[in-house]
Amino acid sequence: MASTTVEAGAAGHGAEPRGKRTDDGQATYLIAIAEALWEEMERDERVYLLGEDIGAYGGAFKVTEGFLDRFGPERVMDTPIVEETIVGMAAGSAMEGLRPVAEFQYADFMSSGYDEITTVLSRYHYRSGVPMPVVLRGPSGGGVRASSFHSTNPEPWVAHAGGIKVVCPAFPGDAKGLLKSAVRDDNPVLYLEHKWIYRRIKEHVSEDPDLLVPIGEARVRRQGDDVSIITYGAMVHRALEAAAALEERGTSVEVVDLRTVYPYDEDAVLRSIEKTSHALVLSESYRYAGIGAEVAATIAEKAFEHLDAPVERLSPPNLPVPFSPPLEDAFLPQVADIEAAVDRLSAW
Partner 1 sequence: MTTIQMPQLGETIIEGTILKWLKQEGDQVARDEPLFEISTDKVDTEVPSPVAGTVKKILVEEGATVPVGTVVMEVDDGSGASDAAAGDGAAEPSAAAETETSDGSDAEATPAPDATPAAEPTAPAAATTAEAPAAASSTVTAMPDRGPRSGIVSPLVRRLAAEHGLDLATVAGSGSGGRITKKDVEAAIAAGGAPAEAPAAPAATVTPLRTPAPAVGTAPGQGDTVEPMSHIRKAIAEHMVGSIQTTARAWTMVEVNVDHLVRLRTSAKEAFRERHGVNLTYLPFVIRATVDALKAHPRVNARIDGDTIVSPGSVHMGIAVSYDAGLIVPVIRDADVMNTVGLARAIADLAGRARAHQLRPDEVQGATFTITNPGPYGSVASVPIINMPNAGILSLDAIVKRPVVVDDAIAIRSMVNISMSWDHRILDGEIATRFLARVRDDLERWDFAEDLGL
267 is a contact residue toward partner 1 (CB under 8 A): yes
Which one, 190 or 311, has the nearer CB to partner 1? 311
- Distance CA(348)–CA(343), nearest Å, equals 8
Residue 306 interacts with partner 1 (CB under 8 A): yes or no: yes
- Is the Cβ of residue 79 or residue 276 nearer to partner 1 in the bound state? 276
CB of 252 to partner 1, least distance (A): 12
**Minimum CB distance to partner 1, residue 253 (Å):** 15
The one-letter amino acid at 151: S
Does 347 help bind partner 1 (rule: CB under 8 A)? Answer: yes
Q: Given the residues 13, 125, 150, 278, select the one marked as catalytic.
A: 150
Using CB under 8 A, which residues numbered 64 to 83 contact partner 1? none
CB of 259 to partner 1, least distance (A): 17
Among 309, 334, 335, 337, binds partner 1 (CB under 8 A): 309
14 or 263: whose CB is closer to partner 1? 263
Q: State the Cα–Cα distance between residues 214 and 211, nearest whole angstrom.
A: 10
Residue 348 engages partner 1 in binding (rule: CB under 8 A): yes
With beta carbons less than 8 A apart as the criterion, state whether 267 and 230 touch. Answer: no
Binding residue (CB under 8 A) for partner 1 from 20, 180, 271, 313:
271
Among 4, 23, 305, 326, binds partner 1 (CB under 8 A): 305
For residues 309 and 348, the answer to whether their CB atoms sit within 8 Å is yes
306 has catalytic annotation? no
The full 3-state SS of the chain, as one line of letters, equals CCCCCCCCCCCCCCCCHHHHCCCCCEEEHHHHHHHHHHHHHHHCCCEEEEECCCCCCCCCCCCCCCHHHHHCCCCEEECCCCHHHHHHHHHHHHHCCCEEEEECCCHHHHHHHHHHHHHHHCCHHHHHCCCCCCEEEEEECCCCCCCCCCCCCCHHHHHCCCCCEEECCCCHHHHHHHHHHHHHCCCCEEEEEECCCCCCCEEECCCCCCCCCCCCCCEEEECCCCEEEEECCHHHHHHHHHHHHHHHCCCCEEEEECCEEECCCHHHHHHHHHHHCCEEEECCCCCCCCHHHHHHHHHHHHCHHHCCCCCEEECCCCCCCCCCHHHHHHHCCCHHHHHHHHHHHHHC
Nearer to partner 1, 44 or 267 (CB): 267
- The span of 23-31, 211-219, 264-272, 282-290 binding partner 1 (CB under 8 A) equals 264-272
Quote the least distance from Cβ 267 to partner 1, whole Å. 7
Q: What are phi and psi of 80, to 5 degrees?
A: -65, 170
Least distance to partner 1 from the beta carbon of 340, Å?
11
The number of CA neighbours under 13 Å toward the Cβ of 295 is 39
- Print burial letters for 55-67: b (CB count within 10 Å at least 16), e (below 16): beebbbbbbbbbb
Q: In this chain, which stretch among 110-118, 194-202, 252-260, 267-275 interacts with partner 1, using CB under 8 A?
A: 267-275
Smallest gap from Cβ 298 to partner 1, in A, equals 13
Select the span of 96-104, 151-159, 199-207, 301-309 touching partner 1 (CB under 8 A).
Answer: 301-309
Q: Whose Cβ is closer to partner 1: residue 79's or residue 346's? A: 346
**Residue 307 touching partner 1 (CB under 8 A):** yes
Q: Return the number of the residue (102 or 299) whose C-beta is nearest partner 1.
A: 299
Contact between 84 and partner 1 by CB under 8 A: the answer reads no
The residue count for binding partner 1 (CB under 8 A) is 12
Measured from the CB atom, the residue of 288 and 304 that comes closer to partner 1 is 304
Work out how close the CB of 250 gets to partner 1 at its nearest, in angstroms, rounded to a whole number: 12
Residue 304 touches partner 1, criterion: CB under 8 A: yes
- By annotation, the residues acting in catalysis are 150
| Residues near partner 1, by CB under 8 A | 267, 270-271, 277, 304-309, 347-348
